[in-house]
Amino acid sequence: MSGRVQYLLAASLDGFLAEEDGSLDWLFQFGEAGTGEDSPVAEFLRTVGAIAMGSATYQFLLDIDYWDYGDTPVWVFTTRGEMRRFDGSDIRFVQGPPAEFIADMKAAAGDQVVWLMGGGNLADQFVEDGLLNDLLLTVVPVLLHKGIRPFEKTRVVTPPLKLTGSREIGSTMVELRYEFS
């Protein structure tokens, strides 16, 4: 697991990770997606040593005043410059492609993973630079019809991803685990 970059996300049946305005209300209606100690999200968070996120994802967290990542080192990729920090957080506002910061993120993660958290634009950059190792996709049984996609403008066609596992989450969702070749 050491040094792997994993993109954990939930997406609607029609392939959206958020509504057009960034809202996740469609997801929060499912109790199985909660953050209880035994939830899949809590299980995953115990494996995370560093986080990479885009500025829109970070702004969403600021807007809802939610921070559950303690002092885990976080790289926020932004062209907006510095933004407000959460108390007790270890946030680094950076500009430039992920390839410039991947060695630092992996070093900070140690024997744990780097979590690519939210944001189709940033995910595209990780894919295009060959930096993404795993996709952990939870399929949620709703149709949004429009919104933000997990990958927005990827200009590369990947080889087929390798399915490494699947599991039911609660009574309504399925998690699919893929590895990039």
- Write down the pLDDT at residue 10: 92
Domain that holds residue 64: 5-153
| Assigned domain for 169 exists | no
Tokens of 88: 């007790």
- Which positions ≥6 away from 134 have C-beta within 8 Å? 4, 5, 6, 7, 164, 177, 178, 179, 180
| Assigned domain for 93 exists | yes
State how far the Cα of 22 lies from the Cα of 147, in Å rounded to an integer: 8
| Assigned domain for 117 exists | yes
pTM above 0.85, yes or no: yes
| Assigned domain for 148 exists | yes
- Write down the pLDDT at residue 40: 79
- Which positions ≥6 away from 167 have C-beta within 8 Å? 174, 175
Tokens of 103: 């060695």
- Write down the pLDDT at residue 31: 65
| Assigned domain for 180 exists | no
CATH number at residue 144: 3.40.430.10
> How many domains does the chain fold into?
1
What single string gives the DSSP state of each residue in 69-95? Answer: -TT-EEEEE-SS---PPPTT-EEEEE-
* C-alpha distances in Å from residue 15, one per residue of 11, 28, 76, 108: 6, 17, 24, 32
Tokens of 9: 């996300």
Taking phi over 0 as left and psi of -120 to 50 as alpha, with beta for the rest, 76 belongs to: beta
Tokens of 32: 């199985």
**pLDDT tens digits, the chain, 181 residues: what are they?**
568 999 999 999 999 999 998 888 898 888 655 556 667 788 898 999 999 999 989 998 999 999 989 999 999 999 887 789 999 999 999 999 999 999 999 999 999 999 999 778 899 999 999 999 999 999 999 999 999 989 887 677 888 999 999 999 888 899 999 999 7
